[in-house]
Amino acid sequence: MTELRKITVGAEEPYEVVIGRNLLDQVPSMLVGAKKVLIVHPVGLSVSAEALRDSLIEANFDVVLAGVPDSEDAKRIEVAAFCWGILGKSEFSRTDMIVGFGGGAITDLAGFVAATWLRGVGFIQIPTTVLAMVDASIGGKTGVNTAEGKNLVGVFHSPKGVLVDLETLGSLARNELIAGFAEVVKCGFISDTQILELIENNFAEATDPSSELFLELVTRAIQVKAVVVAEDFREQGLRETLNYGHTLGHAIELAERYKWRHGAAVSIGMVFAAELARLNGRLSSIDVQRHRDILTSLGLPVSYPADKWPQLLANMRIDKKARAGNLRFIVLDEVGKPRVMHSPTDEILFTAFQEIAQ
C-alpha cells in the first residue's frame, strides 16, 4: 500500500494536503460540521461525482451536484452564477461546505463560489489532474476569467483541506497529464532542483502515475508551493516566483481563446523566460538548453508562431502581474534561484521571442 503523505499549508487557517492512493473514503472526515454539501464537478466526471455523492449520503450528508463545463469554459461568471443559484435554492448556510472535484479550472471555480457565497463558506478540494494537484488546488487563489484576460476576477480563500488521490488520474488522457506536469518542472526550476534530476534520470517512470517516483515528484512539487504560500499568502513578494513561465503562458492562452492546455502554454513561457534571462546575462546557454531538453523530452511545446508576437505583447500588458502597463517577469539568476525582472524593453522582449519563434 502506498505511504500516506501529509503536507501542512500555512494560510489564514493552516490546512493539510493529504497525498496517496484510494483516499476518497476520507472525504466525510474533511466535511465535519457541515450538513449540506455541493459538489462542483465537470460533466465529464459525472459518474465519479455521483459515486462520491452516494458515499456522502451514506455518511448522512445532504448532497447536491453542480455539473459544469470542463476546462477554462468553467471559469466564467455565468457558471459561478449557476452555482450560486443552486446554493440559494438549496438554502446553503455558512456552516455548509463545497467540494471542488475536478481539474484546475474546476477547483478555481469551486473556491471562487465558496469565497463569494455568504461572504465565504468552507470548501475542500479533490483535484483530479496533475495541474490541479500540484498547483491550482493549493494556496487559496480562486477566480474566473473574463474576455480581457485570465484570472482577472478572484479572491484569496483557502480550503479546509486538499485530498490528492493519485488513483483519480487513471482516466486522465496522456496529453492532459503531461501538460499538467509542466507545473512540476516549474517547481524544479524555481526551487527544488532535485525534481529536475529525478525527471532526467527516468522520463518514463517520472510520468507514470502508478510509480513511486511519480508520487515523490508530486509530493515535492506540492511542498514547494506549500512553503511559498506559507511565507507569502497574498502574493506580495515570494509567491510571485510561482508565476515562472506564466506571463507569456497566460498571453498564449488568451490568444488561443483558452483552447490550449495551461501547461503547454507555460512550457513555452518558461523557455521564453529562460531566453530573457540569458540575454540579460543571468542564465547560461546550458541552462536554457536544459529547459528545452526536459520539456521536449516530456512532449511539451517550446516554440510558438512568429507572427503572433504583437498580439502576445498586447495580452501581456493587461496581465494581472503587470504594474501600470510595465511588464514583470520571473526569471532565473541560475537554476533554483528566481527573481523578478522589472520593465524589460520591447526590444529585448522581441529578441527573446525570436529564440522561441517557429
CA distance 316 to 328: 9
Active site includes 119? yes
User: Which residue of the set 119, 174, 257, 347 is catalytic?
Assistant: 119
Q: Which of 220, 246, 261, 328 is catalytic?
A: 246
Strand partners for 7? 17
Active site residue 326: no
The catalytic position among 76, 141, 150, 328 is 141
Distance of alpha carbon 89 from alpha carbon 85, whole angstroms: 6
Cα dist. 304→72, 146, 155, 251, 313 in Å? 21, 23, 32, 12, 13
41 tagged catalytic: no
Q: Which residues contact 259 (CB under 8 A, 6 or more apart)?
A: none
- Active-site residue, 342 included: no
Biggest distance spanned by C-alpha atoms of the chain: 62
Among 36, 225, 261, 278, the one annotated catalytic: 225
Q: Is 239 a catalytic residue?
A: yes
- Return the DSSP state at 326: B
Catalytic residue among 183, 240, 253, 275: 183
**Cα–Cα dist 124/34, whole Å:** 12
Going by C-alpha positions, the residue among 352, 339, 348, 345 that lies closest to residue 326 is 345
Place of cell 503572433: 308
Task: Report yes or no: 155 and 112 within 8 Å, Cβ to Cβ.
Answer: yes
Phi, psi dihedral angles at 286 (to 5 degrees): -65, -40
Q: Which of 150, 239, 278, 328 is the catalytic position?
A: 239
Q: What is the DSSP letter of 257?
A: T
Active site residue 282: no
Q: Write out the three cell numbers for 119.
A: 461572504
Torsion sign (Cα): 112, 117, 123, 128: negative
Assess whether 235 carries a catalytic annotation: yes
Please give the DSSP secondary-structure letter assigned to residue 33: T
Residue type, 324: A
Exactly one of 41, 150, 262, 291 is catalytic; which is it? 262
- Among this protein's residues, is 355 annotated catalytic? no
Cβ–Cβ under 8 Å, residues 145 and 72 = yes
Handedness of CA 171, 173, 177, 179 (dihedral sign): negative
**Which residue in 72, 243, 275, 291 is the catalytic one?**
243
Catalytic residue among 72, 235, 253, 275: 235
In the set 250, 291, 292, 328, the catalytic residue is: 250
111: its cell numbers: 473556491
**Catalytic positions, written as ranges:** 119, 141, 183, 225, 235, 239, 243, 246, 250, 262
